[in-house]
């Protein structure tokens, strides 16, 4: 067991998460889930019943594109597929123009104004107006432009918009509650409109279909009637212009023999283009040769190596000569190692090298002369071609003087012809399609006054609120569980820290009950049985013989170590054992007040030498003995670490069967560390929902630094979910026969 308890306090045993773990979390956090669910449902109910009932009127309309419009009678009308057609019609139906027609036709902005404009709408309209004004003041791009398009600000323009604000508000209100739902794989469209007045909803839906048809007619006529009149008049004018321009062109061609001139005009531009191209080529070649020749001259003047110039470096003859010269020089170096300078072999090698160098110089002079000749030839060619180009330009200018007027007149004829042909074709097409309708609209199902409101759907909202409330409550429960870092169940302690849980004590829920006296008052209760189980666990915690000197401590104050010490002492005394409680918490003693015993003399007076061993007091009415803490000394830690304390424990162990020490918390002072080395074992008291895992880990590290023998952990203050029901449910069930309500 000692080996088992030496598991590192920081270690966390990984385990699989089972369904029962989730159920345990939900049972533990059931109050959170229920509260969130109730709040959500109540909010949904309040919102649902505070909403204004809306009635929805609907109508079904068949919308088809007139594929036969524009086709000559008797011809086949190709039924093309236009995926954007219905979406375009939907936009037209819900457009501001159509809704404005509805408002105007039904006089909604005057006769039914009160059904659309209330104080809330007025505030929204006023806010929108102020926003537009502020935008126009602070935004340089938002300045109001007058409708006449002159770019100047119109001071009355904003006022005119405010005059139309009620009408605009009604239009926006109608469009907001207007819905369109097409039937799948059909051309039938459902149009819905919702309003708080059922009859008005039906009236607006019916008027919307009429306004939609009017808008289609307006679109059709605006693009056909006026256009047709204009095209007829314009076509006649263009016909006369075309005839006059053609006659004038024929007369001019006869007078100036334009046919001959036109042939020459075709030839001369070709020649001019050829000469220009040749001149560009010759000029480029001349510039290249000039640059090369100048580079050679500069190199000669500056006595630089000519062979670094590209024309010399790229010459194949020079490249071959350089290679031969290099080979000859290498040969001379090799021969010089064997022969002297006057040796015939060396003389022949040098003569060969000199011959190669002369050839290289001759080749260099040849390249220089060749470059100069090429440059002079290029200059001459450039001059000749420039003269030819100049002469050709002069001849072409003479011909152009006659052809300019011809070109002007020809362009006029072409322009008039194109305009006339276009207008004639458009006029014929518009004449054929003038009376046709591009979109056919039929009402399949008329609108009726809705008998029941469509919104709010209170039952659906409540059911949805319950679902979301339940899901949100569950999510909140798991989120709170994720944030909760406190010890909750015995399994947490065993699996995280490898410690033995001696027992779990359920929290007393009745306010009039005291945990310090409940075991004495109700010895047959499940609560008392929990301490008996702790007693059994302590007695079996050590091999060979049970521990006799037991230290009770906790990680922090208010975790129940004092009450646990008292109740364990009582159940030990019930086994006809002599039990002594020593209150070692000399800073905040409580044992004397629990048993109503004076604290004038006790442990502190004995350790300071001011009292003998007669400090043991009998608890009235119980088989218990107590050594109180005594007056608070200035140095409790030093007193507890003294030889007198060790001797006292030795003497008390001979007089009593069990000595229980109630010590201060581990995290607060070092008293418990000192005492843990003087006892047979230490019992840690941990409070469920209060003590964190970090506190337990830190306390264990501190105790194990002094090699304290930890008997186990008592989990105090558990609930029926966290410990009572899950860990010792059998005991509670068995002992519930005492007739007392389980706590």
User: Which pair of tokens denotes residue 431?
Assistant: 């004449």
Contact 602, 648 (CB under 8 A): no
Q: Is the pLDDT of residue 637 over 70?
A: yes
Least confident piece of the model among 355-359, 591-595, 666-670, 737-741: 737-741
Do 114 and 155 share a domain, yes or no?
yes
In a domain, 490, yes or no: no
pLDDT at 445: 86
Domain shared by 36 and 94, yes or no: no
C-alpha–C-alpha distance, residues 125 and 163, integer Å: 11
- Label residue 141 exposed, middle or buried (CB < 10 Å: 0-12, 13-18, 19+): exposed
Q: Using a pLDDT cut of 70, give the percent of the chain over it.
A: 78
The side-by-side arrangement of strands in the sheet containing 439-445 is: 178-182, 188-195, 55-65, 439-445
How many Å apart are CA 411 and CA 578, to the nearest integer? 132
Residue 181 lies in a domain: yes
Region 340-364: mean pLDDT is: 83
Q: Judge whether 730 lies within some domain.
A: no
Both 312 and 461 in one domain: the answer is no
In three-state secondary structure terms, 540 is coil
Query: Could you tell me the pTM of the whole model?
Result: 0.48
Average pLDDT over residues 728-733: 42
Q: How many domains does the chain have?
A: 4
Same domain (yes/no): 526, 670: yes
Q: Please give the residue that has the higher pLDDT: either 430 or 445.
A: 445
Q: Do the Cβ atoms of 437 and 220 come closer than 8 Å?
A: yes
Lowest-confidence pick of 67-81, 340-354, 444-458: 67-81
Q: Is residue 737 part of a domain?
A: no
Characterize 468-504 residue by residue with b for buried, 16 or more Cβ atoms within 10 angstroms of its Cβ, and e for exposed.
Answer: ebbebbbeebbeebeeeebbbbbbbbeebbbbbbbbb
Residue 226 is predicted with a pLDDT of: 62
What pLDDT was estimated at residue 258?
A: 59
Band of the pLDDT at 690, cuts 50, 70, 90?
A: confident
Confidence of residue 582 (pLDDT cuts 50, 70, 90): very high
Indicate whether 136 belongs to any domain. yes
Per-residue buried b or exposed e for 286-312, using 16+ beta carbons within 10 Å of the residue's own CB: beebeebbeebeebeeeeeebbebebb
| Reported confidence tier of residue 311, pLDDT bands at 50, 70, 90 | confident
User: Is the domain of 661 the same as that of 562?
Assistant: yes
In terms of domains, do 119 and 202 share one?
yes
Identify whether residues 653 and 520 lie together within a single domain: yes
* Mean pLDDT to the nearest integer, 23-37: 86
Answer with the residue of higher pLDDT: 541 or 120.
541
Domain boundary at 424, 445, 466, which? 445
Residue 151 has pLDDT above 50, yes or no: no
Which stretch of DSSP H or E encloses residue 361?
helix 344-433
Confidence of residue 650 (pLDDT cuts 50, 70, 90): very high
Least confident residue range of 52-56, 101-105, 135-139, 532-536: 135-139
Whether residue 164 is predicted with pLDDT greater than 60 in this model: the reply is no
Q: Domain boundary residue among 368, 398, 433? A: 433
CA–CA dist 585, 670 (Å, integer): 11
Is there a contact between 189 and 180 (Cβ–Cβ < 8 Å)?
yes
| Least confident piece of the model among 71-75, 484-488, 644-648 | 71-75
Is the pLDDT at 385 greater than 80, yes or no?
yes
Cis check: omega of the bond before 456, within 30 degrees of 0: yes
pLDDT at 263: 54
Q: How far is the C-alpha of 692 from the C-alpha of 556, rounded, in Å?
A: 10
For residues 557 and 681, membership in a common domain is answered with yes
Task: Provide the pLDDT for residue 2.
Answer: 41
In whole numbers, what is the pLDDT of the chain averaged over residues? 78
Answer yes or no: do 344 and 269 share one domain. Answer: yes
Q: pLDDT category, 11, cuts 50, 70, 90?
A: very low
Residue count (the chain): 743
User: Locate tokens 């670490």: which residue?
Assistant: 641
- Residue 252 in any domain: the answer is no
Tell whether the model's pLDDT for residue 16 goes beyond 70.
Answer: no
> Residue 71's pLDDT band (boundaries 50, 70, 90)?
very low
Most confident of 420-434, 519-533, 586-600: 586-600
Host domain of residue 20? 2-51+456-483
Q: Spell out the residues 6+ positions from residue 479 whose beta carbon is closer than 8 angstroms to its own.
A: none
What's the confidence (pLDDT) of residue 733?
41
Phi-psi group of 107: left, alpha or beta (phi > 0 → left; psi -120 to 50 → alpha; rest → beta): left
Q: And the tokens for 566?
A: 């008292």
- Does residue 527 share a domain with residue 469? no
- Cβ-proximal residues to 168 (8 Å cutoff; 6+ apart), any chain: 125
Give residue 232's pLDDT. Answer: 74
- Cα separation, 680 vs 542, whole angstroms: 9
Query: Can you tell me which residue has the tokens 């200059």?
Result: 379
What does the pLDDT read at residue 173? Answer: 85
Cβ atoms of 415 and 287 within 8 Å: the answer is: no
Q: Do 547 and 660 share a structural domain?
A: yes
pLDDT band at 679 (very low <50, low <70, confident <90, very high): very high
Q: In this structure, what token pair is assigned to residue 718?
A: 């558990």
Q: Predicted confidence band at 389 (pLDDT cuts at 50, 70, 90)?
A: confident
Residue 184 pLDDT exceeds 80: yes
Which of 86-107 are b and which e, b meaning 16 or more Cβ less than 10 Å from the residue's Cβ? Answer: beebbebbbeeebbbbbbeebe
Q: Give the whole-angstrom CA distance, residue 617 versus residue 619.
A: 6
Domain for residue 330, yes or no?
Answer: yes
pLDDT band at 40 (very low <50, low <70, confident <90, very high): very high
Q: Would you say 688 and 560 are in contact if contact means Cβ atoms under 8 Å apart?
A: no
Q: Do 189 and 274 lie in a common domain? A: no
With 70 as the cut, is the pLDDT of residue 378 above it?
Answer: yes
Residue 502 lies in a domain: no
Q: Give the span between the Cα atoms of 180 and 188, in whole angstroms.
A: 11
> Which pLDDT score, from 0 to 100, does residue 149 have?
43
pLDDT band at 681 (very low <50, low <70, confident <90, very high): very high
pLDDT attached to residue 264: 57
Q: Which ranges of 454-608 does DSSP label H, i.e. alpha helix?
A: 458-483, 490-497, 515-521, 526-539, 561-573, 591-595, 603-607
């Amino acid at each position: 067991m000692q080996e088992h308890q030496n598991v590192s306090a920081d270690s966390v045993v990984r385990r699989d998460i089972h369904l029962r773990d989730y159920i345990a979390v939900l049972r533990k956090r059931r109050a959170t889930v229920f509260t969130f669910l109730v709040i959500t449902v109540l909010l949904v109910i309040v919102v649902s019943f505070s909403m204004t009932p809306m009635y929805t009127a609907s109508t079904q309309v068949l919308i088809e594109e007139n594929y036969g419009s524009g086709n000559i009678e008797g011809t086949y009308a190709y039924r093309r597929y236009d995926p954007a057609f219905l979406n375009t019609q939907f936009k037209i139906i819900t457009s501001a123009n159509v809704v404005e027609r509805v408002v105007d036709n039904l006089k909604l902005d005057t006769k039914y104004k009160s059904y659309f404009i209330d104080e809330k709408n007025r505030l929204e309209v006023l806010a929108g107006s102020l926003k537009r004004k502020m935008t126009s003041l602070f935004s340089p791009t938002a300045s109001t432009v007058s409708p006449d398009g002159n770019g100047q600000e119109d001071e009355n323009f904003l006022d005119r918009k405010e005059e139309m604000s009620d009408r605009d508000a009604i239009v926006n209100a109608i469009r907001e509650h207007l819905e369109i739902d097409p039937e799948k794989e059909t051309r039938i469209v459902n149009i819905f409109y919702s309003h708080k007045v059922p009859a008005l909803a039906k009236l607006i839906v019916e008027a919307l279909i009429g306004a939609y048809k009017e808008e289609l007619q307006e679109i059709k006529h605006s693009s056909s009637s006026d256009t047709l009149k204009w095209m007829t008049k314009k076509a006649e004018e263009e016909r006369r212009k075309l005839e006059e321009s053609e006659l004038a062109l024929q007369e001019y061609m006869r007078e100036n023999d334009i046919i001959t001139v036109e042939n020459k005009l075709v030839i001369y531009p070709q020649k001019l283009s050829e000469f220009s191209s040749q001149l560009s080529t010759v000029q480029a070649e001349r510039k290249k040769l000039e640059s090369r020749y100048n580079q050679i001259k500069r190199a000669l003047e500056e006595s630089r190596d000519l062979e670094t110039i590209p024309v010399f470096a790229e010459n194949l003859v020079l490249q071959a000569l350089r290679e031969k010269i290099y080979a000859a020089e290498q040969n001379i170096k090799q021969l010089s190692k064997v022969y002297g300078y006057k040796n015939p072999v060396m003389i022949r090698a040098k003569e060969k090298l000199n011959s190669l160098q002369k050839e290289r110089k001759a080749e260099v002079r040849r390249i220089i002369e060749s470059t100069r000749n090429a440059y002079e030839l290029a200059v001459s060619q450039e001059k000749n071609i420039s003269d030819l180009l100049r002469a050709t330009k002069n001849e072409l200018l003479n011909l152009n003087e006659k052809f300019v007027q011809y070109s002007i007149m020809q362009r006029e004829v072409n322009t008039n012809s194109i305009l006339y042909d276009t207008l004639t074709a458009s006029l014929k097409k518009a004449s054929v399609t003038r009376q046709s309708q591009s979109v056919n609209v039929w009402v399949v199902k008329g609108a009726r006054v809705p008998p029941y409101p469509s919104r709010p759907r209170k039952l659906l909202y409540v059911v949805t609120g319950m679902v979301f409330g339940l899901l949100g409550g569950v999510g909140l429960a798991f989120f709170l569980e994720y944030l909760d870092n406190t010890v909750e169940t015995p399994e947490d302690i065993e699996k995280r820290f490898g410690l033995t849980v001696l027992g779990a004590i359920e929290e007393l829920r009745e306010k009039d009950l005291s945990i310090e006296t409940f075991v004495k008052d109700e010895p047959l209760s499940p609560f008392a049985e929990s301490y008996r189980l702790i007693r059994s666990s302590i007695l079996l915690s050590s091999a060979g013989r049970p521990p006799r000197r037991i230290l009770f401590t906790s990680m922090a104050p208010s975790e129940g170590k004092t009450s646990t010490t008292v109740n364990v002492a009582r159940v030990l005394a019930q086994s006809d054992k002599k039990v002594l409680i020593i209150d070692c918490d000399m800073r905040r003693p409580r044992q004397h007040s629990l048993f109503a015993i004076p604290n004038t003399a006790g442990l502190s007076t004995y350790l300071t030498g001011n009292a003998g061993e007669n400090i043991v007091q009998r608890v009235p009415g119980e088989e218990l003995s107590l050594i109180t803490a005594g007056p608070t000394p200035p140095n409790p830690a030093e007193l507890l670490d003294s030889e007198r304390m060790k001797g006292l424990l030795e003497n008390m162990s001979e007089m009593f069967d069990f000595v229980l020490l109630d010590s201060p918390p581990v995290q607060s002072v070092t008293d418990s560390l000192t005492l843990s080395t003087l006892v047979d074992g230490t019992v840690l008291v941990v409070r469920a929902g209060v003590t964190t895992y970090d506190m337990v880990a830190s306390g264990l590290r501190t105790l194990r630094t002094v090699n304290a023998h930890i008997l186990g952990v008592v989990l105090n203050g558990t609930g029926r979910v966290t410990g009572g029901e899950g860990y010792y449910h059998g005991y509670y069930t068995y002992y519930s026969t005492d007739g007392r309500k389980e706590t």
